[in-house]
A and B are shown apart, each in its own frame.
Chain A
Amino acid sequence: MSNNLRFKTSKFIDETYRVSFKFNNKTYFGFKGDTLASALLANGIHLVGRSFKYHRPRGIMTSGSEEPNAIIQLHDNSSRTEPNVRATEVEIYEGLVASSQNCWPSVNFDIGGINNLLSPILPAGFYYKTFMWPASFWEKYEYFIRKSAGLGKSPKVADPDIYEHKYIHCDVLVIGAGISGIMAAKMAAKNGFKTLLVDEKSYLGGSSIYDNSEFSKINNQIISSWLEKEINEISKLENLEIKTRTSVAAFHGYNFLLARENLTDHLPINQRENKVRQRLLKIRAKKVITATGSIERPLIFDNNDRPGIMLSSAIKRYIDLYGVACGENNILFTNNDTAYETAMSLIQRGIKINAIIDNREQIDSKISYEVEKNNIKIYKGYTVVDTYGYRRINKISIMKLSKDGQTVIGDKTKLNCDCLGVSGGWTPAVHLFTQSGGKLKFREEDQVFIPNVYPSDQISIGSCNGDFGLEEIIKNTLSSIKKFLDIDNSEYKTVETISGLNQSKRNIWLLPSDKSIGKTKSFVDYQNDATAKDIKLALREGFRSIEHVKRYTTTGMGTDQGKLGNMHALGIISETAGTKMGEHGTTTFRPPYTPLTFGTIVGRNVGEFFDIFRRTPIHDWHVANNAEFENVGQWKRAWYYPKDNENMHQAVQRESKAARDSAGILDASTLGKIDIQGTDASEFLNRVYTNAWSKLAIGKCRYGLMLNEDGMVYDDGVTTRLGENHYIMTTTTGGAANVLGKLEDYLQTEWPELDVYLSSVTDHFATISVCGPNSKKIVSKVVPDLDLSDEKFPHMSFKNSKIDNIKCRIMRISFTGEHSYEINIQANFGKSVWEKCMEAGKDFNITPYGTETMHLLRAEKGFIIVGQDTDATLTPIDLQMDWIVSKKKYDFIGKRSLYRSDTIREDRKQLVGLLTENPEEVLEEGAQIVADIKKSPIEMLGHVTSSYYSPNLKKSIALGVVKGGKNMLGQKLIIPMENKNINVTVADPVFLDKEGERLNAKL
């Protein structure tokens, strides 16, 4: 450690607690309380990274979350690695490992630095302009561009840390714990408001907590002492919750805010086990007080990006808070008084200030006189025109500004330094305010945007509201809070302030140079290497809107969202284009304010909780019997049950054959089930299905097709009449929730006069389907009380019965074309009834089959699956299901749309069967169907929707939709594939047992 850079005077640094850490493979030491940035600076290190485009050496620029340059990789190559972390925000701990990004082989010697020499040919929009031709080469270019650009490396293994979400409701949320924030929190909490105070730092008090200046006082005390007492007082308030290391990421409408609370990032790795690392707070506040302060502006001049060039306020923070001197020979460059506070902090510790360069001709404040008294040379009316030094600044040259500030005059003077502090005044941190929908206004006198119109119950106070003077801050905070909370100010009777600072400023967005603009590199956005020259080029090329200029030059598009340079970009645009500030818009600040980890965003929803799935009551049996599963909506459905080393095809062929030859059993519990009751239930079904329902007898089942109002098929299923005013409707597995929602919609909004009640009972019943020639024998063993004769229990009918004294509903319905039964029983008994069926079917080779076999069996019969064979562009007529559309009914959902000019076109896509010339050739689902492959371009007639090899028919079968397919029976078509054309013939979509002999066979 370089001893002459560390001053043992700070109470925020624990000098008895030495911490070792690694940076770029070298071990360094810091103290507890240091950030990575302060510890590196104490070790004399400024160069920490390379810039994005030109690979220029970059150093630590700031001391907070606005840092554009010092972004590093933490714990490279470990599971806890994190890219793009701001060194200014990382609190160091024993064992911390950090490394530079975007440089190779090292930060000191970076091959990409050649881009800096090539920079004359790398202007804004270079990549857009250069890599356009030939278009097909983009993929090749992209590979190299991606390799040479980019920031840190993302982790390659699972994150070992735990994250969580928490909801917080409060009366008042105060964001930022500086002077205003602390005063606001105290007033709110003491007046009975449940208050939450958050701050992104690990300590309270903001930048005033280390303000020991004799020039600014509150109630005749130095600011830090006054604040300490206030903090001590509020920490005991019952109504007030305080969260530090908590950064508000997003401010949404209706005072809904997201904040990230950092819990373990400051701890050594071995102390983090089993602790929550970060917490996403979802805050709903009745009132929000934003006290986020302001960010110091840099100044824009040639080569303003060298390591060692820092914000003047950062130099002050490093010396006052961390006891670290950023340089041994400093120069300050300013256009306002705040740099003189930095000067005083340096003077007090005897650190050399070579000179102060001030844009202003006249400086008239107590603090500036005091600085001058200390024999510091102040160059009034001067500007920096260039800087020197590759890995660290070592010299600057200055010139006198002309009266209008547009040019430089006189001789050039060179001055030595190893650190240059810049101050261009302050920009209110209005990011959260604008995120919430707030509208800004521009204040001409000091060139700042300040909050104007509030979209919700909120207020901005302190310097984020444009109050910069101490007296102004305190006076306005008191009056604003009093009004905002409608309270009497009993907490602060009299607050007296004195300040040695003057608010004068000479604002010049782009400082003039003796060189032409084309020869300068005056960085506006440090992280994305966007210069003033780039912005001017964009304007010359015709871009006007700030949003366009931003995207073209990438200004403000880095991970820091241009917290430092956005104002300058706006200023340069308005100066160059001769428009008023804000006339071309201001850029939109989007959440998050500072980057969030993915862990924080997903919280506990990882692993098995990432996408929660639903299990049927019989799920465990499927698992125990080796089933492979398929996701259907949120359900896990048994897909097929491979036996011995069967692959999917073999298992499905075996299951399909067994179901038709003897008996198959399917878990159909996932089908949506809606219980419908009420005196108008029949009328309701009449209106929602295409076919007629009034005459369905009690105890009978009917298949129904449901349309959207546009006439397209929406869902289908069998509905059973359980009683006079009682039905149970089944829906597709995936459509259940939507169907219920749609039915409720019509009931509540279009037909409130109908006496009908709907409840979802999907989860209440297990549904077991037993099919095949031996199904009757099996079901008769399981439900012995039931007469299964065709006379008593014909196809499409229903009976109540009991299995071991448990009530159940049995339907004789079929989705396979086989004689089959559906047993519905209270869900808890599902598994045992399934096992009963398996036992009863043992002698008949009862074969459990999954969804794949179910699909194959129904395809043999030409039964559609809504969502597979249909896609919201097919009417029942297109599906050749005219038979299900009632001609007699006056109205039903979608009826009118069935004879719109578009839906009656003859050349619509229609469902047909497809048979391949070679019966062994199985088509690919989704394959295109064409008639003529010689024509160019080839006309697409349709596509294959379902395709299988049928073991029962011993040939390949497929369903598809084809333009005008209804009238193409027997016609030859072609399926062009990657390396061959497959010949197919249009066929009847019912491939097996069209007459229904299997269904009606006497068993």
Chain B
Amino acid sequence: MFLINCPFCGEREQSEFKAGGEAHIVRPKQPTELSDDEWAEYLFMRKNIKGVQFERWNHVHGCRKWFNMVRDTSNDQIKAVYKMGEKPPVK
């Protein structure tokens, strides 16, 4: 079970958090101008990488804040956490 360093609260048990899928997928500003395929790309397509992945997490049983995490899915190592809107601190 992970020990997650919430950018607002500090280290907490994984059971306080909820995973929210891939990070840095921006909701299109003008969805009506997108083709079906372009909209489907935004709506349905996710990477699911084996290796370093950028993810959204929510401290749902804590401060309720969403934040981003860089995690290696092959060994569950958390490389970094950072606030929404910030640039990833690692590549």
Contact = CB atoms under 8 A, between A and B. Distances in A.
Contact of B31 (A455, A749, A895): A895
A752 interface: yes
B1 interface: yes
A471 to B, nearest CB: 35
- Please list the 5 inter-chain residue pairs (A to B) with the smallest Cβ-Cβ separation, ordered nearest first: A896-B31, A256-B1, A748-B66, A254-B3, A750-B27
B1 A253 contact: yes
A750 B56 CA distance: 12
A891 interface: yes
B45 interface: no
B84 interface: yes
Given A254-B3, A896-B39, A891 B31 contact: yes
Interface in B16-34: 18, 20, 26-28, 30-32, 34
Contacts of A745: 20, 58, 66
Contact of B66 (A253, A256, A437, A749): A749
Contacts of A794: none
A900 interface: yes
Contacts of A437: 75-76
A897 B2 contact: no
Contacts of A752: 84-85
Interface residues of B, number: 27
Given A437-B75, A748-B65, A901-B36, 20 more contacts: A253-B76, A254-B2, A254-B76, A284-B13, A437-B76, A455-B75, A455-B76, A709-B27, A741-B18, A744-B58, A744-B64, A749-B56, A750-B27, A752-B84, A752-B85, A895-B32, A896-B32, A897-B39, A897-B43, A900-B36
Nearest to A750: B27
A253 B2 contact: yes
B14 to A, nearest CB: 8
B9 interface: no
B60 interface: yes
A133 interface: no
A284 B14 CA distance: 12
A750 B18 CA distance: 18
A890 interface: yes
A710 interface: yes
A890 B56 CA distance: 27
B27 to A, nearest CB: 5
Contacts of A710: 43
A744 B18 CA distance: 13
A590 interface: no
Contact of B1 (A252, A455, A709, A748): A252
Interface of A: 252-254, 256, 284, 437, 455, 709-710, 741, 744-745, 748-750, 752, 890-891, 895-897, 900-901
Contacts of A252: 1
Contacts of A890: 32
Contacts of A253: 1-2, 76
B40 interface: yes
A896 B28 CA distance: 10
B71 to A, nearest CB: 11
Given A437-B75, A437-B76, A749-B56, A744 B66 contact: yes
Interface in B74-91: 75-76, 84-85
A612 to B, nearest CB: 15
A256 B76 CA distance: 13
Given A896-B39, A897-B43, A284 B66 contact: no
5 contacts: A253-B1, A437-B75, A745-B58, A749-B84, A752-B85
B77 to A, nearest CB: 8
A689 B58 CA distance: 23
* Chain B CB within 10 A, most for which of A253, A455, A744, A896: A896
Contacts of B60: 741
A891 B58 contact: no
B39 A900 contact: yes
B59 to A, nearest CB: 11
Given A895-B31, A896-B39, A748 B84 contact: yes
Given A253-B1, A253-B2, A749-B56, A709 B43 contact: yes
Nearest to A892: B31
Nearest to B27: A750
Contacts of B20: 745
Nearest to B75: A455
B40 A891 contact: no
A900 B56 CA distance: 27
A896 B43 CA distance: 10
A437 to B, nearest CB: 6
A741 B60 CA distance: 8
Nearest to B56: A749
A467 B10 CA distance: 40
Nearest to A254: B3
Contact of A900 (B30, B40, B66): B40
A686 to B, nearest CB: 15
Contacts of B32: 890-891, 895-896
A784 B34 CA distance: 56
B69 to A, nearest CB: 13
Contact of A254 (B1, B30, B31): B1
A710 B84 CA distance: 23
Contacts of B27: 709, 750
A887 to B, nearest CB: 12
A848 B52 CA distance: 58
A62 B34 CA distance: 69
Contacts of A748: 65-66, 84
A847 B65 CA distance: 44
Contacts of A900: 36, 39-40
Contacts of A455: 75-76
A709 B34 CA distance: 14
B8 to A, nearest CB: 11
Contacts of B13: 284
Nearest to A255: B3
B5 to A, nearest CB: 11
Contacts of B40: 900
A706 to B, nearest CB: 16
A256 B14 CA distance: 11
Contacts of A750: 26-27
B3 A896 contact: no
B3 A284 contact: yes
A748 B84 CA distance: 8
B62 to A, nearest CB: 13
A895 B33 CA distance: 12
A463 B58 CA distance: 43
Nearest to B34: A896
A455 B78 CA distance: 12
Contacts of A256: 1, 3
A114 to B, nearest CB: 48
